[in-house]
Amino acid sequence: MKKYLLCIACLLFCVPLLQAQDTITLAQCQKAALANYPLARQKGLYTQTGEAAISNLKANRWLPQMSVNGQASWQSEVTRLPIEVPGVQVPELSKDQYKITLDAGYTLYDGGVNRFERELQKTSTAREVQGIEVELNRVKSQVNLYFLNALLAEENSKLMAMQQTHVKNQIDKLSANVTYGTAPQTTVDALQAEYLQLEQKLSEFKALRNGFKEMLAILTGLSIDENTTLGIEQEEISIQNLPNQRPEMKLYGLQRSQLAVQQGLVSSRIQPRVSAFAQTGAGRPALNLLNNDFRSFFLGGVRLSWTLSNGYTLKRERTILSLKEQMVNNQQATFEKNLSLELRQQQSEIERYQYLLEQDTEIVALRSKLRQRAASQLENGAIAARDYISELNAENQARLNLNTHRVQWQMAKLQYLTLTGN
């Protein structure tokens, strides 16, 4: 018996948990949509590509550059001494010559080129990743649209079911009067027709709800079906004193950083280069040109190179980069201008729907009273069924307006949050 009671207690405890798991919030949908969107995986690919490129640049800077070179040649004439010494035979070089070498070089000073190239790769990767964030921010608006439309269809379905209950109650009450001959059959028939029309609307709203839920499931990758409950974390969404956290703002900053690094890279290319080198190998002849035998050899030293011609275009390249920075600044100013207009328009929408909601609440209360009064009059035979249906439809429309304006009000506030990047 105790085990039986314990099992019942466990089931009663688990039921609320199972129900709670069937509720999915808007924040969960947005988080899942961003993670499930195929473009989000591109961020990891950009990051891996950037890290590999930086590793290559580090290897080029800190590891010696090695190469193996070989050469075989035949020449029509070789070097000879212009004198002859009696009793001494001067060796004559062969016209076929061979050489194979292992060459190594190590950059001691490159003017900062490698450092700027690594910085440029970092900022380029960060800019590409931030570009993905800009694209993903648009997904939030899509999630808001599907989520709130599914909520609206759900609320309207509940409203249709409630109105059906009202009509069904009247049918049940008047059917008895028809049986006793105190009410005409046409009254019940009119109510039956209205009940069927409400059933049609209920099916329509359910189809809309299921459609939006299916699209939400595809977008988020979550398990969402017709039995899943959707909910918003906070009924009151605050839009006061929101900072501008749009990913575009960071993208513009990264573009300017990239241009600044390119300025440094351009300047570094006119700096001299200093490198150490070493060469070892074997050949005929080797370093001693008077020795015609195959011999090994080695040489090493320090090399200086300074390409002065890189300065020919330095001023123009700096001008081009400066103009590009001005273009980025103009793009940001245009974006901020348009954003301020969109935010002001969205603020007006929020205020408009808030006013409509206040009016809708009063209208619904009055329409509900009129419908209740009409129901009482219908039961007493004081009015015809069409008059009651007219009042019922008026209340129904008022409640539909209330639901629609409430969702539009929430959508306007969520859109305001999305526009500010919050």
pLDDT tens figures, 297-334: 999 999 999 888 888 888 899 999 999 999 999 999 99
Q: How far apart are CA 34 and CA 316, in angstroms?
A: 43
At residue 182, the pLDDT reads 62
In a domain, 146, yes or no: yes
At residue 238, the pLDDT reads 61
Taking residues 288-303, report their average pLDDT: 88
The domain spanning residue 349 has which CATH number?
1.20.1600.10
**Predicted confidence (pLDDT) at residue 18 exceeds the cutoff of 60:** no
In a domain, 49, yes or no: yes
**Predicted confidence (pLDDT) at residue 19 exceeds the cutoff of 70:** no
At residue 119, the pLDDT reads 92
Taking residues 2-11, report their average pLDDT: 39
Q: How far apart are CA 186 and CA 112, in angstroms?
A: 95
Cβ atoms within 10 Å, residue 28: 15
At residue 279, the pLDDT reads 92
Residue written as token pair 């129904």: 396
Q: How far apart are CA 128 and CA 42, in angstroms?
A: 9
- Greater confidence (386 vs 89) lies with 386
How do strand 65-74 and strand 96-109 relate by DSSP bridges?
antiparallel
Q: How far apart are CA 211 and CA 149, in angstroms?
A: 10
At residue 181, the pLDDT reads 65
At residue 80, the pLDDT reads 76
Beta-strand runs (E) in 3-89:
23-25, 65-74
Residues in Cβ contact with 72 at an 8 Å cutoff, skipping those fewer than 6 apart: 96, 97, 98, 99
Query: What are φ and ψ of residue 255, in 5° steps?
Result: -65, -40
Q: How confident is the model at residue 237 (pLDDT cuts 50, 70, 90)?
A: low
In a domain, 18, yes or no: no
At residue 332, the pLDDT reads 92
**Predicted confidence (pLDDT) at residue 204 exceeds the cutoff of 80:** yes
Please answer whether residues 291 and 90 qualify as being in contact, where contact means their C-beta atoms are separated by less than 8 angstroms. Answer: no
Cβ atoms within 10 Å, residue 262: 21
Split into its structural domains, the chain has a count of: 1
Q: How confident is the model at residue 79 (pLDDT cuts 50, 70, 90)?
A: confident
In a domain, 15, yes or no: no
**Predicted confidence (pLDDT) at residue 16 exceeds the cutoff of 70:** no
DSSP state of 279: E
The residue type of 111 is: G
At residue 200, the pLDDT reads 92
pTM: 0.73
At residue 7, the pLDDT reads 41
The DSSP element (H or E) to which 354 belongs, if any, is helix 314-379
In a domain, 206, yes or no: yes
289: its two tokens: 């040109």
**Predicted confidence (pLDDT) at residue 402 exceeds the cutoff of 60:** yes
At residue 276, the pLDDT reads 93
Cα torsion through 4, 10, 15, 18, rounded to 10: -130
Q: How far apart are CA 32 and CA 140, in angstroms?
A: 10
At residue 10, the pLDDT reads 42
Reduced to 3 states (helix: H, G, I; strand: E, B; else coil), residue 254 is helix
Bridge partners (DSSP) listed for residue 33: none
Q: How confident is the model at residue 251 (pLDDT cuts 50, 70, 90)?
A: very high
In a domain, 375, yes or no: yes
In a domain, 4, yes or no: no
Please answer whether residues 239 and 413 qualify as being in contact, where contact means their C-beta atoms are separated by less than 8 angstroms. Answer: yes
First to last CA, the chain: 55
pLDDT tens figures, 180-199: 666 678 878 888 888 898 89
Taking residues 408-420, report their average pLDDT: 85
Taking residues 5-26, report their average pLDDT: 49
Taking residues 109-130, report their average pLDDT: 91
At residue 14, the pLDDT reads 40
Taking residues 49-53, report their average pLDDT: 91
**Highest mean predicted confidence (pLDDT) among 168-172, 175-179, 257-261:** 257-261
At residue 408, the pLDDT reads 86
In a domain, 52, yes or no: yes
Rounded to whole angstroms, what are the CA distances from 405 to 62, 150, 208, 298, 370? Answer: 65, 14, 18, 87, 22
Alpha helices in 84-184 (DSSP H): 113-179
Taking residues 211-233, report their average pLDDT: 87
Residue written as token pair 């049986």: 179
At residue 11, the pLDDT reads 38
Bridge partners (DSSP) listed for residue 102: 68, 280
At residue 239, the pLDDT reads 65
Cβ atoms within 10 Å, residue 252: 20
- Any idea what the Cα angle at residue 240 is, between residues 235 and 241, rounded to 5°? 145
- pLDDT over 90, % of the chain: 31
Rounded to whole angstroms, what are the CA distances from 203 to 17, 145, 182, 197, 199? Answer: 30, 21, 34, 10, 6
Q: How far apart are CA 90 and CA 72, in angstroms?
A: 24
- Greater confidence (80 vs 269) lies with 269
- Greater confidence (315 vs 235) lies with 315
- Greater confidence (124 vs 380) lies with 124
Q: How far apart are CA 33 and CA 378, in angstroms?
A: 52
Give the least confident one: 109-113, 238-242, 332-336, 348-352.
238-242
Q: How far apart are CA 282 and CA 385, in angstroms?
A: 114
Taking residues 337-357, report their average pLDDT: 90
**What does 230-261 look like in DSSP terms, one character per residue?**
EE-S-SS---TT-----HHHHHHHHHHHHHHH
At residue 233, the pLDDT reads 67
* Domain containing residue 348: 24-67+109-272+313-419
**Predicted confidence (pLDDT) at residue 413 exceeds the cutoff of 70:** yes
